[in-house]
Chains A and B, each alone.
Chain A
């Protein structure tokens, strides 16, 4: 390995880390503006044009905030916990392919399952053959930061939040791992790049529709977003595990949550939405190569694939803000029931479906559609069994109250 390659790699690492942290800053603005729209408000729009400088203003405020460490806290663990939370959230991004830009101009290698020449993709830090295992392992480490923060603060609210997070996060991790297992079965590889390459015909959502639904629910729970944010339920626990945190340490927890949200959305795009692929990408590469040579084709494919990936990512982030704006918080027993009695059996069933379909049906496309039908059918049946009693209609409730006087 020569020095130029090493320099490119170091620049690439820092650019991706910077990009992720910037994306976090602007995701907060994106979410606040969107939530405001959902609630018929305007949202932050004073700092800069359309509130564009709001994240900067927030950061400046946090920099000048006094940092109060409670005297009762276990100091070492208290200081270490934010770092233990945020570092796994960032290193998830090492194996995520943002696109495919070969710096040697060998753009066809992006589309070959077994590339004859090694691919030099600068839009992915590390293409390792156990990428999926790496993703699962790193997301699991994240639970330590939250639980230890809750324990070390030595505060009742934090403690409750920490204990809740320990049980909650491990429960949904199981369903998540089972859903991902079925995806690995479908494509027969652990490499994130190869999974994207394998989605040439059908996107992963077709054979793995059931896994997609389970993944989306479990992933929302893993990043403790609103229908599942028992860990930091403001109305019950003040702030949950981060009650005693302030200033930049609080910002690190905030950053963890949002970077993980972007990361699970990116993972959903890679597994189920074809990653950086879109129909016509290969034709685009071939066309540009005819006009301007392989290097230009490589750059065109790289930029187009990066654009497609980011567009899909933003669509998923929009969806998650929409979910946050639409659903109330769950009760803790219902949360555990959903994880253990619904998602886990459904995910196991999905593994069986996938195995049976691919062993019995030799034609892969046919098997994919059979799996789609089975998945939809299973979901419909499951929703039929799990019928929640209808909430009391507001109008009749008010009428009853009036009759009672």
Chain B
């Protein structure tokens, strides 16, 4: 069984070599004539203004935070999901309680307005 993970390793080598080969080939073939104008940052054809790393809406960050919490909860459900047919009523009840907690968390965020895009 463990050998199968080694297969993934060999496949990984293939996966790295396939994008790498065209990159190397293109590096050998293409012209290289850089000028400062060419290498300037693109912004509507005019000179770029201000700082590129600008401020962004806090909502993006809030969604990412909410994701971290929910994703961990979903990952915790996976071991139960694969065996829930053998766990019977006890496992079912336990998981339902857990799911309810997950759902309560979603409702709380919803009511708090963390999911609104303002």
Contact = CB atoms under 8 A, between A and B. Distances in A.
Interface in B32-64: 32-34, 36, 38-43, 48, 52-54, 56, 59-60, 63-64
Interface in B1-24: 1, 3-5, 7-8, 10-20, 22-23
B108 interface: no
A337 to B, nearest CB: 7
Interface residues of A, number: 83
Interface in A30-57: none
A163 interface: yes
B42 A238 contact: yes
Given A67-B30, A126-B4, A333 B19 contact: no
Contact of B11 (A16, A86, A177, A182): A16
A340 B19 CA distance: 35
A173 B117 contact: no
Contacts of A90: 14-15, 18-19
Contacts of B89: 359
Max chain A C-beta neighbours (<10 A), residue from B20, B54, B70: B70
A375 to B, nearest CB: 17
Contact of B63 (A127, A177, A188, A336): A336
Given A251-B22, A255-B19, A17 B5 contact: no
Contacts of B70: 174, 344
A102 interface: no
Contacts of A173: 67, 71
A354 B13 CA distance: 39
Contacts of B32: 66-67
B26 A243 contact: no
Interface in B68-117: 70-71, 74-75, 77-78, 81-85, 88-89, 92, 95-96, 99, 102-103, 106, 110, 115, 117
A87 interface: yes
A351 B77 contact: yes
A72 interface: yes
Contact of A18 (B18, B54, B84, B99): B18
A91 B12 contact: yes
A194 B64 CA distance: 34
B107 to A, nearest CB: 9
A125 B7 contact: yes
A159 B42 CA distance: 12
B52 A159 contact: yes
Contacts of B5: 126, 128
Interface of B is mostly: helix
Contacts of A17: 11, 14-15, 17-18
Contact of A94 (B7, B18, B36, B64): B7
A264 B31 CA distance: 37
A332 B16 CA distance: 34
A128 B27 CA distance: 38
Contact of A154 (B36, B41, B56): B41
B85 A188 contact: yes
A166 interface: yes
Nearest to B115: A340
B103 to A, nearest CB: 6
Given A64-B29, A67-B30, A1 B3 contact: yes
Contact of A337 (B16, B99, B117): B117
A103 interface: no
A113 interface: no
A345 interface: yes
* Interface core residue of B3, B19, B82, B115 (most chain A CB under 10 Å): B19
Contacts of A127: 4
Interface stretch (A7-15, A303-311, A318-326, A380-388): A7-15
Nearest to B35: A68
Given A94-B7, A154-B53, A171-B67, A66 B31 contact: yes
Given A91-B11, A170-B67, A351-B99, A21 B18 contact: yes
The listed residue with most B CB atoms (<10 A of its CB), out of A134, A173, A255, A344, is A344
B39 A352 contact: no
Interface in A88-135: 90-91, 93-95, 125-129, 133-134
Given A1-B3, A13-B11, A71-B36, 10 more contacts: A9-B10, A63-B30, A64-B30, A66-B32, A87-B12, A174-B70, A178-B74, A248-B22, A355-B84, A358-B85
Q: Sorted from nearest, which 5 A-B pairs have the closest CB atoms?
A: A333-B117, A90-B15, A126-B7, A248-B26, A170-B67
17 contacts: A17-B11, A17-B18, A65-B26, A68-B38, A69-B34, A70-B42, A72-B52, A91-B15, A125-B7, A126-B11, A154-B41, A154-B52, A167-B63, A177-B74, A348-B103, A348-B106, A358-B84
